[in-house]
Chain A
Amino acid sequence: MIAHKFLRPDGTSVFTGFRWELPNGTPGEWVEASAEPCRSGIHACRISDLPLWIGPTLYEIELDGDLVQQRNKLVASRGRLLRRVEAWDDGLRDAYTRMCADRAHELTHSVEPRLEAWDAVVEPSIREGPALLGFVAARIAEEISGREAYHTERARQAAWLVERLGLEA
C-alpha cells in the first residue's frame, strides 16, 4: 500500500526521532516493527490524514505486512520510503499557511456577530506554521457549525494538498 509520511528536515521521525534511510533515486531500506498504534510500527498518512500531521518534509512510503487502519493514520509492520514529494517545499508550506489563514478569516466573518476573538488569533498564528493554521481554521468551522464542520474543513485542506502536490486522491 502506498501512503505518505512527514519527517523532520534531517529525515528523522517527528515523534520518535527514528532516522529513516532516505530514498536517493531508489527506495530506502525496509524498516520493520510490530504494528502497535502510537507505540510501535511504521506510522503513515492516508490522503485524508495529511492536514492532521503536517510537517517539514513529505515522503511517499510503501507499507507492507500487518496494517492497522486508525481513524487518522495507518500503522504497518513494514515500510520503506519511496521518494520525497518535492512539491512540499517552503513556498507551498507558506501558501498552505496563507490559504488556511484566509479561510479562517472568511469563516470568522461569515457569522453575525463576527468571531472577533478567533479572528484575532489568526495572523499571530502564521509564524507558528501550517499545522497550527490548519487546526485554527478547522476549529473556527467547528465553533460555527459543530463537529461535522471540523471534519469538512479538514477534508477541504486535504483536497487543497492533493491538488497542489499532484497526489492521487
Chain B
Amino acid sequence: MEFFRIRRDIPFMRHALVFNAISALTFVAAVFFLVTRGLHFSNEFTGGTVLEVAYTQAADLARTREVVEKMGFGEVQVQNFGTSHDVMIRLPVSKTTKAADMASNVFAELCHAESGQVADRQYTTPQGEQVSRKACEVAGAEPLKLSRTEFVGPSVGEELAWDGGKALIFVVLGIMAYLAIRFEWKFAVAAIIANLHDVVIILGFFAFFQWEFSLSVLAAVLAVLGYSVNESVVIFDRIREAFRKYRKMSTHEVIDHAITSTMSRTIITHGCTEMMVLSMLVFGGPTLHYFAIALTIGILFGIYSSVFVAAAIAMWLGVKREDLIKFSAAKEGDPNDPNSGAVV
C-alpha cells in the first residue's frame, strides 16, 4: 500500500507567494476576531464560581436562568453541558456574598424551585466507600444533583493568566534558541513565524466561535506549538541533507525536493495523531472537548504552515547552502604543495 506515488518533486516554491498570502490573510482575520470579539475565558482565568447540576428530567434552562438571575449576582451564564440533563451555571466574582457560599446558595435556590429541600445524605458506595453529600430531596427522590462546583478567586485567576503568558514566551524563545543552534537563525525565525501563526489561528477560531478558553486549551496550544515545530524540523533536516547530497540544485529546488520527499511522512503522522485526537473528541466527553478541538485545528493548520509557510519564509530570508554546511578554511590548501586542490 503506498498512498504517495509521486514521480517527481512537486514545485511548491513556485507558489510560495500564494501560500504566504493565504496564511497572511487568515492571520489578519484571526487577529481581527481576537481584537473585536475577544476570547471567552473560562472561570479559571477570570475568577468566579461554576456549578454543574444534573437534573433527572431534561433541564428547563429558562427556569433555571430565572432562578439564578433573581439572586442578583450580576451577569450569569446558564447552559447545557454535555447532555440535555446537565446544566452548567457560571457566576462572576461577587463582592457581597462570599464566593465559597455562592455555590451552596444557588443549589439551595434551585432546589426550592423544584419544591425540594436540601439535606445531608450519608451513604456507602458499592465498593464500600463512605460518602456524605448534600442532596436535594423531594419525597424521597432527587430531582437534581450537584455534580461539581468550582470556585476560583480573582487573584488566582490573574496569576494563572500570567503564568500561561510566561509559558508561551518561554516556549517561543526556547524553540528559537534550539533551532538557531541546530540549523541557523534564518530557519529559527522562519519556523517560529510559521508556528506562531498557527497559535494565533487557533486563538482566532476560539474567538470567532466563542468557545471556552480554559487552562487545558492553553496546554493544548502549547503542545501544538511544540508538535508543529516538528514538521519544520523534519523538512529543514531534509533541506540540509539535500544541500549536502545534491550540490548542483538551487535552494528553490532543494526545498521542493525536501518537501516532496517528506510529504508521505508528514501526512501519515498527522493522520495518526489526528486519529488519536478524534477518538478523544468523540469519546472524551465535554471536559476534553475544547482541548481536542484546539489540537485538531492545530494539527490541520500545522501541516499547512509548517510545510509551506516555514520553508517559504526561510527561502525569502535568503537561506543558502553555506548556512547549513560549514566549509572549513583549511580546505583551501597549501600554495606550496603541488598536489593541493587535487581531487581523486
A joins B in a complex? no
